[in-house]
Structure 1
């Protein structure tokens, strides 16, 4: 789960609007992001780039999993269990995997990695 942002929502929205407004005044998006980052005192250009990407995905102008879809997927997979006979492997798993993300499941032998990957719960 993502940690809460140290930046207020209104500042994030304002920063995204500002990037859209000044983008054509700069040679590329990176310099536009840097200008807005410096003007608003945002810690990193990449932080602002992520806000812009999230906004574009949620607005439907960029491919990706929207914030709403992410919440639905998280709710769908919250409390998932799979296993053999009376042994749950794993028990009460909450898992979020973004669409098209490369994801690794790591654990010791017998911990349920293969069971998780082959579980029919993925096909709900």
Structure 2
């Protein structure tokens, strides 16, 4: 069986695990949040590995960097939704800290991947 490049990336593996964790945690949220935070957190947590995977298929490093930027932005969106969840007491302190640590690790790796693509273009933002 062929192994796609994105499946070899630790950051993609972390993103998949964080998406699964997000779904498990939000499963405990109040049912009235089904179309609010639950839906938004699910969509943006899935957006991260999807954009990493899609970015690796692009032919130019410029487009690869663009998709990693989108993945990074979705990660920060998830971070903010996690903070709001904590403020609303939808998420425990332990789950909040674990999500935060996972997000910090993942965003550092996404940023490193993006910088790798940008450096190959000799462009820094």
TM-score of the pair, normalised by structure 2: 0.26
More helix by share: 2
**Which of 1 and 2 has higher RCO (CA within 8 Å, sep 6+)?**
2
TM-score of the pair, normalised by structure 1: 0.26
Computing the radius of gyration from Cα coordinates, the structure with the larger value is 1
